[in-house]
Amino acid sequence: MRRRNTQINTIWQVGYVNVILPLAELEAQQFPLIQSCVFPKWLSASEDVRKASAETERKIDAHITMCRKREDVYRVVKALTVTGDGWTTDAKSFTRFLVREFERNGVNLTLSKKEELQRLTANIDELSMQYIRNLDDDCSFLLFTDMELEGLPQEFLKSLERSEDGKRKIIMRSHQISPVLELCKVGSTRRAVAISYGHRCEANVTILEQLIQLRHKLARLLGFANYADYATDDRMAKSSSKVFEFLENLSASLNDLAYRELSMLKALKKKEEGESPFGMEDLSYYVKRIKDQQFHINFGVIRQYFPINLVLSGIFKICQDLFGLGFKEVEGAAVWHPDVQLFSVSDLSSKELVGYFYLDLYSRVGKYAHTCVVALQNGLLSNGSRQIPVALLVSQFEKEVDGHPGLLQFSEVVNLFHEFGHVVHHICNCASFSKLSGLRLDPDFVEIPALLMENWCYENLSLRLISGFHQDITKPIKDDLCKSLKRWRCSFSALKLKQEIFYCLFDQIIHSTENVDINGLFKHLYPKVMVGLPLLRGINPASCFPRTAIGYEATCYSHIWSEVFAADIFASKFHDDIFNLQTGLQFRNKVLAPGRGKDPLEMLSDFLGREPSMQAFLDKRADIY
């Protein structure tokens, strides 16, 4: 009896201060340490260091996975969810996230079900990697004469291998396929390439079917009706049915625009190629042709107006005027390469330090090849003191070309604005817990501020602020070109959006329905979505659709979802005054600051004064015509 009373007393002594708070503090302390071990794999000049960092990450991931399966910790945390009286909203959210994390790892299952979950997870991982390996190992190619590749630049042709009979080899890789589909004047070549590229790795169809079955089993084991509901449960969308509603409404709303685009594209093809029918293999080529005819934009010339340092100073000025933030380079900071810069960010009103970010922008051997933002330390607010957030923005720009400052392609300018949106989001976050802070947010929500920032690349006032001819930066790009860029952005986008929606619906259907006939689904769904654009016979996207194999399974919709909300925010709040500090501060406080402790839809509705709508996303496309 004495032992039982001791256990009861111990249980009653468990609470927020000695369970939840220590777990939160451990999370906050560990995260920057983990990141300091992991980020060298992307950035170190030493191959040995990169390998050691990758191996360290593997071991850390294994340890974190083990921690997420601690039944003893789960039972205590779960018990505390029924109390929580007097806890802050963030504290309750943090505790719920802990419980959900445990339960999505099967901690609450019986032993036999845990073993089944482990087997399912291992099989899913292996099949997913096999799907990707099949695509990576695919060596298929087609051979063409120079005449059959008419329209492609000479420098591209010179980069292609030649066969023994002198023909040029087009391998089934996107970096060679995309130029052919966009630039080749010969319709039969585009068609042959599209068919060959679209039916690669036919064995992957069987693999995907097996993957889907295993994912449904995993979802049911964890208490969900299907895998799509499992995947969306902890996202802004909340359920697969909400995703279907969103995609189907958007698709239907784009029908008229898509029909109009298709008729114009068909007319242009008939003019240039005669009576040959228009197919999906023609879409990229004729969209580019018609946009070139309408806008006459030379992106090679435009590039001369975007020196890297000028673009950066313009971004800083925009964020200063819009969000009330000040940026200052930290001189003499300890960095991992001479090109790396460290900046402090302060609130212009209070002069309080808000955060830090590193810029590692220039190309070098062994460095991660893409532009991205990495959270090095999450901000958090606890007991009146704030842990300062630290971010890292990585890219691979050319620092100098023939002794001149590096210049950015316009697409790189847009990408830089996008990623800096992530930097600002990370730094402005004021959540009370590391797990609710930084970029560790709802994946349906985290891209919205970054996509919002892209709009400032298309407005006259901001474009003039970030541009200047590289030999005389007092000469920004002209207003008529600014207007052309804004119209070019959304022109002839409806058909391509419908194509993306088709893939999103395909992904959602196979992950929400049992025993789907993948081939039959493709043939049934395509004509319903693609408004008269003929199906290209002989292709099967299920065999070469890596997003649904690993990384984005049942969540391919997320990027379009974020684009729609970002368009609504800009049109409603910033379109008429892109440097309105009061609106920018409201966005900073109501959308960027709260973190994951508050429901994203509530945050956006609070900022907008209503529920978000897709109308602005549609209107900016309709206004082009």
- Annotated catalytic residues are 419
Torsion, Cα of 259, 262, 264, 267 (10° steps) = -130
Residues 6+ apart with CB under 8 A from 66: none
Q: Which two tokens stand for residue 298?
A: 């030379």
Among residues 269, 253, 263, 306, the alpha carbon closest in space to that of 485 is found at 306
Please name the residue that has the structure tokens 């043939």: 523
Alpha carbons within 13 A on the beta-carbon side of 488: 23
Burial of 589-606, coded b for 16+ CB within 10 Å and e otherwise, reads ebbbbbbbbbbbbebbee
387 - beta bridge partners?
380
Q: Do 477 and 465 meet the contact criterion of CB atoms below 8 Å apart?
A: no
Dist. CA 415–CA 94, nearest whole Å: 32
Q: Which amino acid is at 512?
A: S
Dist. CA 111–CA 127, nearest whole Å: 24
Q: Do 191 and 185 meet the contact criterion of CB atoms below 8 Å apart?
A: no
Among residues 375, 380, 354, the alpha carbon closest in space to that of 90 is found at 380
Q: Which two tokens stand for residue 511?
A: 């992950």
* 332 phi/psi in degrees, rounded to 5: 70, 20
389 - beta bridge partners?
none
Dist. CA 65–CA 172, nearest whole Å: 37
Handedness of CA 570, 572, 577, 583 (dihedral sign): negative
* 377 phi/psi in degrees, rounded to 5: -150, 130
Q: Do 204 and 124 meet the contact criterion of CB atoms below 8 Å apart?
A: no
Dist. CA 307–CA 315, nearest whole Å: 13
571-612-372 Cα angle (round to 5) = 70
Burial of 61-76, coded b for 16+ CB within 10 Å and e otherwise, reads eeeeeeebeeeebbeb
Dist. CA 316–CA 430, nearest whole Å: 21
Q: Which two tokens stand for residue 342?
A: 């460290």
DSSP 8-state code for residue 543: G
Q: Do 522 and 506 meet the contact criterion of CB atoms below 8 Å apart?
A: yes
**Sequential DSSP letters for 165-233:** TSPEEEESSHHHHHHHHHH---HHHHHHHHHHHHT--THHHHHHHHHHHHHHHHHHHTT-SSHHHHHHT
Among residues 465, 466, 468, 461, the alpha carbon closest in space to that of 483 is found at 461
